[in-house]
Amino acid sequence: MQKPISITAVSSISSLGKSLDTVWRSYLLNKTFISEKAFQDKNVMVASIPEDVKKEIEVLKQSDNKYKSLDDTVLFAIYTSRNAIKQSGWNANDNFGINIGSSRGATALFENYHKSFLKNNKAKTLSSPTTTLGNIASWVAHDLQTQGPEISHSITCSTALHAMLNGIAWINSGMCNKFLVGGSEAPLTPFTIAQMQALKIYAKQPKEFPCQALNLDKTENTMVLGEGASMVCLEAGENEKSLAIVKGYGYATEILQHNISISSDAQCFQRSMKMALGETSPEEIDVVVMHAPGTIKGDLSEYKAIKAVFKENTPAVTTNKWKIGHTFGASGTLSLEMAILMLQHQKFIGIPYLESLKLPKTISNILVNAVGFGGNAVSILLSKK
């Protein structure tokens, strides 16, 4: 780290709700927010945003004639970005930077436009601009009326934490002193779910806890898709608004042995975590919020990486995917939100079906992990302000 960077706001929507208070209350409940939903005459386990939030997204969509043609990924991003900026006290004249990513982008809109094209052999007028990935950050910048830099990208499931790396880099360079970063994902569409099922990694059975993330004894893959978005406000230095301090960051990419997998001991995670630790002793880390998507190999390889890095000083580990599913490109900042809430409330959020999990003695430093297809890992080290 070249200089201290504060997180001064975090805003999200997910199956847990829309406000920090609601999200925290949801985390305190020992239940999942995954449920069954019909997709093409079949019931599938998913984590949807609540009905009251869906109504607010619809109000946003109808509030501006230009917004009526936007995909949910963009609307989710606008909604959460507005709330984050309000929470942080920023205004458009600050000309803050924006970096919002997504793994899949405008999935529902793209599927609908493509279906129309196959039927009519003709593309609809707005099919191109509304389905481009850059559409997300650019519309957020338009909505917030800021003139700072705006960036969109996709680095699969580590997208949101890569956005955070970019924000940190811009601030450290002196080119910006404030950056809005995060991810948005609306992947609950027939084709997206079918893709995950084709990979044989999707949960098959409705259970009390359909996604068995971090259960290292499971005998089948249990990943479940969730929708949501999460935005984080970064500011140079420390101030009274700080929710947490970014103490370190790390990143790594490893050579792929398979299109979707990382090495059996997640070499990319080992390197990203070591880089994030820097001069911080492994003994000082109280919790690791794991990526842990609920797949057999994914969960186990990341846990092996943690054991390799921390050895006898292995901290408490947890994840939120058993509760909210895997939100692809938004998952990293949703995990950051969980970490920030644990730091604020000084309470560890464990996993009810893994009651033997180690509990932290204190919660002062939390490492947050994310990785995606392509073996691109990111680790962010947060500390109490």
Q: Which pLDDT does position 1 carry in this prediction?
A: 57
CB 347 within 8 A of CB 38: no
316 and 198, same domain (yes or no):
no
Does 147 share its domain with 32? yes
Which residues is 246 bridged to in the sheet? 5, 382
Q: Tell me, what's the pLDDT at 260?
A: 55
Residue 241 lies in a domain: no
User: Are residue 197 and residue 274 in the same domain, yes or no?
Assistant: no
- 276 by Cβ neighbours in 10 Å (0-12 / 13-18 / 19+) ranks as buried
Judgement on whether residues 87 and 144 belong to the same structural domain of the protein: yes
Domain shared by 260 and 228, yes or no = no
- Could you tell me the pLDDT band of residue 259, with boundaries at 50, 70 and 90? low
pLDDT digits (tens, 9 = 90+) for 327-373: 999 999 999 999 999 999 999 999 999 987 899 999 999 999 999 98
Measured CA to CA, the distance from residue 23 to residue 30 in angstroms comes to 13
Domain that holds residue 133: 5-236
Query: Burial code of 339-348, b = ≥16 C-beta within 10 A, e = fewer?
Result: bbbbbeeeeb
Q: Are residues 182 and 44 part of one domain?
A: yes
Res. 262 pLDDT band, cuts 50 70 90: confident
Residue ending a domain, among 236, 266, 288, is 236
What pLDDT does residue 261 have?
63
Number of independent structural domains in the chain: 2
Q: Does a structural domain hold residue 242?
A: no
Task: Give pLDDT tens digits for 278-319.
Answer: 999 999 999 999 999 999 999 999 999 999 999 999 999 999
pLDDT band at 103; cut points 50, 70, 90: very high
Residue where a domain terminates, one of 182, 215, 236: 236
Kindly report, residue by residue over 175-193, the tens digit of the pLDDT.
999 999 999 999 999 999 9
| pLDDT above 70 coverage of the chain, percent | 98
Torsion of CA 88, 92, 97, 99, to 10 degrees: 80
Put simply, whether the predicted model's pTM sits higher than 0.95 gets the answer: yes
271 in any annotated domain: yes
Residues 223 and 265 placed together within one structural domain of the fold: no
Q: Is 18 found in the same domain as 73?
A: yes
Which secondary-structure segment (H or E) carries 182? strand 178-185
Question: For residue 327, is it within any domain?
Answer: yes
Residues 221 and 200 sit within 8 Å (Cβ to Cβ): yes
pLDDT on residue 41: 84
Q: Which residues pair with 366 in a beta bridge?
A: 287, 382
Answer yes or no: is pLDDT of 129 > 90: no
The domain spanning residue 70 has which CATH number? 3.40.47.10
Task: Provide mean pLDDT across the span 19-27.
Answer: 98
Question: Are residues 166 and 55 part of one domain?
Answer: yes
Helices (H) and strands (E) in the chain, counts: 11, 13
Give pLDDT, residue 385. 76
Same domain, 278 and 158: no
Q: Which stretches within the chain are classed as H helix?
A: 20-28, 51-62, 72-88, 107-120, 135-144, 159-173, 190-198, 267-277, 296-310, 321-324, 331-345
- Asked if residue 59 has pLDDT above 70, the reply is yes
In this structure, are residues 131 and 112 in contact, taking their beta carbons and an 8 Å threshold?
Answer: no
